[in-house]
């Protein structure tokens, strides 16, 4: 493995863990970036971005990061709340009147951010082009009845999370969530992160591959499969198929629940900007806003009957045995390919790990890196 980049001497253990991921855990191409106190202290990349051609991973390489998109959307929602433009505890219908029917009248943005709205999947079957057009998904959400009484249970709201919060963002700002993120955060800070990858970036992205032994999805009627594929319109992971996660047409459209493409430095920079500020700019999210974001909203057994050990705040995974971070002020989101990014304003950390080999259940690559960060901070 050809490793490039650098790490401050204090964070040498992170570099060692990054190298071990390649040597011991089947890494193909990957990158990790860590900010502390607004300063980049680790920026490493290595391996192969495209296994077909051998094209190397570079400092600029972006890769699909799946539900790390939820962190981008969550930060946008909290920014609007912080500005007084969005009340997370007000009914969604205040901003989107057509939503408030069929049992959804009391649904709030916080219920959606905590996966408690009863809307993990849609009954209506939409085509790929309809999903790309945005408005058909919005209409389907308006017509949807909750699967359970809102706020009485939780289950992962895979794609609906992004479209629902995203439509609220659009109603408030006039911009779809990907466009709002780029205007408000991504472009001013120069972050290589997008929901809807620009066509000029498509050729240099990393190409995803599946590790051997990844378990298949359940059948098409299973709720989990319906959540992940939007009733079969998207192919998961479908790495060699149209409408799968190497398809530029999918990566180029706005899928704000699971369709982000980013570099490690782009995602780590976003969380560092949120908790400390970067580039001479103040922090995006105040301490009070982070306190609101990290208050636990959901945990334990989900509506489908499983308890993976995850804890959810308002839009973010929280520190847990399922997803260890640094402590009670940590908040982030992971991706189906093993990617993970988070911020923590107690430690002043923005962290991101991205990779193109999808390992699946039991993937501990990011956790090993976070463990090294934690040890380095303790030793410092």
Decide if pLDDT at 98 tops 80.
yes
- The H or E element spanning position 14 is helix 12-24
Decide if pLDDT at 194 tops 90.
yes
Across the chain, what does the average pLDDT equal? 97
pLDDT of residue 265: 98
Strands, E, within 237-371: which ranges? 260-262, 298-299, 311-312, 317-318, 330-334, 340-344, 349-355, 357-358
CA atoms within 13 A on the CB side of 376: 24
Decide if pLDDT at 1 tops 90.
no
For residues 108-130, average pLDDT: 98
Outline where 93-152 has alpha helix (H): 109-113, 128-132, 135-143
What is the residue extent of each domain of the chain?
A: 3-379
C-alpha to C-alpha distance for 133 and 60, rounded to whole angstroms: 29
Asked if 227 contacts 158 with a C-beta cutoff of 8 angstroms, the reply is yes
If pLDDT is split at 50, 70 and 90, which confidence band does 185 have? very high
C-alpha to C-alpha distance for 204 and 189, rounded to whole angstroms: 21
The predicted-structure confidence for 151-173, as pLDDT tens digits, reads as follows 999 999 999 999 999 999 999 99
pLDDT of residue 212: 86
The top-level CATH class assigned to 3-379 is alpha beta
C-alpha to C-alpha distance for 188 and 282, rounded to whole angstroms: 12
Decide if pLDDT at 45 tops 90.
yes
For residues 61-78, average pLDDT: 98
pLDDT of residue 6: 97
Asked if 290 contacts 331 with a C-beta cutoff of 8 angstroms, the reply is yes
Decide if pLDDT at 129 tops 80.
yes
Name the DSSP class of 92. Answer: G
C-alpha to C-alpha distance for 266 and 190, rounded to whole angstroms: 8
For residues 30-38, average pLDDT: 98
The predicted-structure confidence for 288-334, as pLDDT tens digits, reads as follows 999 999 999 999 999 999 999 999 999 999 999 999 999 999 999 99
pLDDT of residue 206: 98
CA atoms within 13 A on the CB side of 208: 27
Question: Do strands 63-66 and 260-262 pair parallel, antiparallel, or not at all (unpaired)?
Answer: antiparallel
For residues 239-268, average pLDDT: 97
pLDDT of residue 2: 76
């Amino acid at each position: 493995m050809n490793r490039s980049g650098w790490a401050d001497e204090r964070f040498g253990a992170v570099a060692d863990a990054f190298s071990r991921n390649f040597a011991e855990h089947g890494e193909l191409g990957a990158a990790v970036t860590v900010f502390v106190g607004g300063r980049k202290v680790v920026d490493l990349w290595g391996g192969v971005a495209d296994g077909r051609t051998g094209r190397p991973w570079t400092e600029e390489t972006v890769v699909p990061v799946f539900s790390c998109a939820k962190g981008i959307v969550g930060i946008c929602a909290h920014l609007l709340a912080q500005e007084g433009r969005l009340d997370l505890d007000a009914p969604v219908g205040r901003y989107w009147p057509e939503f408030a029917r069929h049992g959804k009248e009391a649904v709030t943005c916080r219920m959606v951010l905590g996966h408690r709205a009863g809307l993990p999947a849609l009954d209506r079957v939409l085509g790929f082009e309809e999903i790309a057009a945005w408005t058909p998904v919005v209409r389907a959400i308006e017509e949807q009845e909750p699967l359970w009484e809102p706020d009485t249970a939780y289950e992962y709201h895979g794609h609906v999370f992004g479209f629902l919060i995203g439509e609220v963002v659009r109603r408030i700002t006039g911009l779809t969530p990907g466009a709002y993120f780029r205007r408000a955060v991504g472009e001013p800070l120069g972050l290589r992160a997008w929901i809807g990858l620009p066509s000029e970036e498509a050729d240099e992205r990393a190409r995803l591959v599946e590790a051997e032994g990844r378990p298949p999805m359940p059948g098409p009627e299973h709720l989990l499969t319906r959540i992940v594929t939007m009733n079969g319109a998207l192919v998961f992971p479908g790495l060699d198929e149209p409408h799968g996660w190497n398809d530029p047409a999918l990566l180029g459209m706005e899928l704000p629940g699971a369709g982000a493409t980013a570099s490690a430095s782009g995602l780590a920079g976003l969380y560092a900007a949120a908790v400390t500020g970067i580039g001479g700019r103040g922090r995006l999210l105040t301490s009070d806003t982070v306190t609101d974001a990290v208050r636990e909203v959901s945990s334990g057994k989900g509506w489908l009957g499983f308890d993976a050990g995850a804890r959810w705040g308002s839009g973010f995974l929280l520190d847990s045995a399922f997803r260890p971070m640094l402590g009670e002020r940590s908040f982030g989101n992971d991706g189906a390919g093993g990617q993970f990014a988070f911020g923590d304003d107690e430690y002043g950390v923005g962290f991101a790990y991205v990779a193109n080999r999808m390992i699946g259940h039991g993937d501990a690559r990011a956790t090993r890196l976070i463990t090294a960060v934690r040890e380095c901070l303790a030793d410092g």
